[in-house]
Amino acid sequence: MDTGEVRLHKIGLRQVKAELKDIPGCIEKQLAPLEKSIRPGMRVGVAAGSRGIGNIALIVRVAVDCLRQYGAMPFIFPAMGSHGGATSEGQREVLASYGICEESMGVPVLSSMEVVRIGSTEGQPDLPVYMDKNAWESDGVLVINRVKPHTDFHGDHESGIVKMLTIGLGKDTQAVAAHGYGVDGLRDSIPRIAGKVIESGKILGALAILEDGYDNTSDIVFAGTHDEFFRIDRELLKRSRAIMARLPFDRVDVLVVDCMGKNYSGTGLDTNVIGRMGIRGQRDALPECARIVTLDLSDESHGNATGVGLSDIVSRRLERKINWDDTNTNIITSGFLERGFLPLVCETDREAVSLALATCGGKTPGSIRFIRIRNTLDLKEIWLSPALLNELPEDLFSGVLASGRLEFDENGCISDF
């Protein structure tokens, strides 16, 4: 089947919308209980991560301003495991790419990979517990992170404030220790490690962020006690799972992703969207995609192509952007080596899509189940073939925005979305 034979419709895919209208006002209200814990002149570290969280620069800035109003002397530090190539400068650059820097925040950004061992989990396995040295030497820490389903495992606590207390605050040293026990060990060890971090008395609180199906900030909730950290993390995870953006199909022949990246998901391609875990022994979910083609790597990823192995085919322009040192550091730390395997590389986008069409099971233009998306975070508009349009539930369909065929320029690059 030639790419020119594939007819597509660009449609609005209705997701759950629940946008928070007054982000600064919500933060100020949520952080109000923290004021009584602040002594004048306290050095408070604000933990900021590496995910592409909507409005993250605004959220961090308002939190910093609140702390200053309470009399604290805040600073910001990266809390992102092995991202940024597991280097202090690399992690500083990741934060800067999200608009979090000394100039925009008005406070120091202290980036270091040095950690302090603050104890152990005890029990089996007995894991060491670490914390960023700058955070440990501060008078207290405020954690800021989004809560959503994880791309490696599923449990009571996945990607959120509990995980940031563990792998975020403990840098790559903690990430290696936690990931060393595989998926089940990671799931089980995160709350145990987080409990020890909380018991240290260093954590003043956390702002847990919820996003709706359109990547809008939907809610921000403050946790200030041991029980609240775990309860709020569980509650927001359930809410996130119910409203997160997804593809409403069980089976797809060809999924084309215009761009992957760490700003869209920790695995570049969100496994909860594409249905592939990419970890041997772990069961995949839906949709079942026969072929996944990925065409580009975001600039915000700084060459980190973690998750590239989730695709079957990639373009040469994506492959040329990969920084293998940073990618391998992240992949080796995770222990999930399959996600770093390089798929088949085609010289152009056209060749990549053509190869997927030719190897997806002998489909015809009328029967092909084809989807094209911008990335796995933004699913409000997608291109799909008539076979899938006919299956789309009416309550998720907000109209046909355009119709046409796959087009490529003279260099074989796919047309604008």
pLDDT digits (tens, 9 = 90+) for 320-330: 999 999 999 99
Residue 182 has pLDDT above 80, yes or no: no
Residue 282: predicted pLDDT:
81
When pLDDT is cut at 50, 70 and 90, the band that residue 410 belongs to is very high
Residue 207 has pLDDT above 90, yes or no: yes
pLDDT of residue 291: 98
- Establish whether the linkage from the previous residue to 125 is cis, with ω within 30° of 0: yes
Q: Is 303 left (phi over 0), alpha (psi -120 to 50) or beta?
A: left
Q: Is the pLDDT of residue 191 over 80?
A: yes
Q: Which amino acid is at 65?
A: D
pLDDT tens digits, 155-166: 899 999 999 999
Say yes or no to pLDDT of 195 above 90. yes
pLDDT reported for residue 58: 97
Side-chain-side CA neighbours of 287 within 13 Å: the count stands at: 21
pLDDT on residue 155: 86
What is the overall mean pLDDT for the chain? 94
| Residue 184 predicted with pLDDT over 80 | no
pLDDT digits (tens, 9 = 90+) for 264-279: 998 999 999 999 999 8
What is the rounded CA–CA span in Å between residue 105 and residue 328?
A: 31
Adjacent-strand bridge partners of 402 = 10
Rounded CA gap, 50 and 355, in Å? 34
Instruction: For domain 38-243, say whether CATH 3.40.50.11440 is its number.
Output: yes
Sign of the C-alpha dihedral, residues 375, 379, 382, 385? positive
Q: Does the structure show a pLDDT above 90 at 19?
A: yes
Q: Is the pLDDT of residue 22 over 80?
A: yes
Q: What is the pLDDT of residue 153?
A: 82
Residue 181 has pLDDT above 80, yes or no: no
> Would you state the structure tokens that stand for residue 150, as one six-digit string?
């994880």
pLDDT in tens, 87-97: 999 999 999 99
Percent of the chain with pLDDT over 70: 100
pLDDT per residue over 348-393, tens digit each? 999 999 999 999 988 898 899 999 999 999 999 999 999 999 999 8
What average pLDDT does the segment 13-17 reach? 92
- Would you state the pLDDT for residue 337? 95
pLDDT digits (tens, 9 = 90+) for 52-72: 799 999 999 999 999 999 999
The structural domains of the chain, with segments of one domain joined by +, span: 3-15+246-405, 38-243
User: 3-state secondary structure string, the chain?
Assistant: CCHHHCEEEEEEECCCCCCCCCHHHHHHHHHHHHHHHCCCCCEEEEEECCCCCCCHHHHHHHHHHHHHHCCCEEEEEECCCCCHHHCHHHHHHHHHHCCCCHHHHCCCECCCCCEEEEEECCCCCCCEEEEEHHHHCCCEEEEEEECECCCCCCCCCCECHHHHHHHHCCHHHHHHHHHCCHHHHHHHHHHHHHHHHHHCCCEEEEEEEEECCCCCEEEEEEECCHHHHHHHHHHHHHHHHHHCCCCCCCEEEEEEECCECCCCCCCCCCHHHHCCCCCCCCCCCCCEEEEEEECCECHHHCCCCCCHHHCCEEEHHHHHHCCHHHHHHHHHHHCCHHHHCCCEEECCHHHHHHHHHHCCCCCCCCCCCEEEECCCCCCCEEEECHHHHCCCCHHHEEEEEEEEECCECCCCCECCC
State yes or no: pLDDT of 217 exceeds 80: yes
Overall average pLDDT of the 312-326 stretch: 97
Q: Do the beta carbons of residue 198 and residue 166 sit within 8 Å?
A: no
